Structure 1
Amino acid sequence: MAKTAAPATKKVEAPVTQAPAQKTAAKTATAKKAPARKAATKKAAPAALVVKEGEEKWTKAELDEVLTDLNEHAARLRTELHDQEEELAGLMRDAGDGAGHDQADMGATSFERDHELTVVNNARDMLAQTERALARIDDGTYGVCESCGNPIGKMRLMAFPRATLCLSCKQREERR
Structure 2
Amino acid sequence: MTLVYPETRTQDIRIALQERREELDAEYTAAVAESTLAGVVDSGDDVADLGTKAFNREQEFALAQSLRTRLDQVVRALERLDAGHYGTCETCAGEIPVARLAAFPSVTLCVSCKSRSESRY
- How high is the TM-score relative to the length of structure 2? 0.87
Identity of aligned residues (%): 36
The SS at the match of 1:129 is helix
Q: Could you tell me which runs of 5 or more consecutive residues in structure 2 were left unpaired when the two chains were aligned.
A: none
- Once residues 110 and 166 of structure 1 are traced to their aligned partners in structure 2, the CA distance between those partners, rounded to angstroms, is 38
- Once residues 139 and 153 of structure 1 are traced to their aligned partners in structure 2, the CA distance between those partners, rounded to angstroms, is 19
In structure 2, the residue matched to 1:166 is: 110
Larger proportion of helix: 1
2:88 aligned with 1:140, yes or no? no
When the two structures are aligned, how many residues end up with a matched partner?
A: 120
In structure 2, the residue matched to 1:118 is: 62
C-alpha displacement of 1:79:
1.1
Structure with the bigger RCO (C-alpha within 8 Å, sep 6+) is: 2
In structure 1, the residue matched to 2:32 is: 85
C-alpha displacement of 1:49:
4.6
- Once residues 70 and 145 of structure 1 are traced to their aligned partners in structure 2, the CA distance between those partners, rounded to angstroms, is 18
Equivalent position to 2:49, from 105, 124, 131: 105
Question: Which protein has the larger Cα radius of gyration, Structure 1 or Structure 2?
Answer: 1
C-alpha displacement of 1:113:
0.5
In structure 1, the residue matched to 2:97 is: 153
- AA paired with 2:48? A
2:17 aligned with 1:70, yes or no? yes
Q: Could you tell me which runs of 5 or more consecutive residues in structure 1 were left unpaired when the two chains were aligned.
A: 1-47, 51-56
In structure 2, the residue matched to 1:175 is: 119
1:65-109: CA deviation from partner (whole Å, max 9, x where unpaired): 2212211110011111111211222223x13x3x22221111111
Q: Is the 8 A contact 1:66 1:158 kept in 2?
A: no
- How high is the TM-score relative to the length of structure 1? 0.62
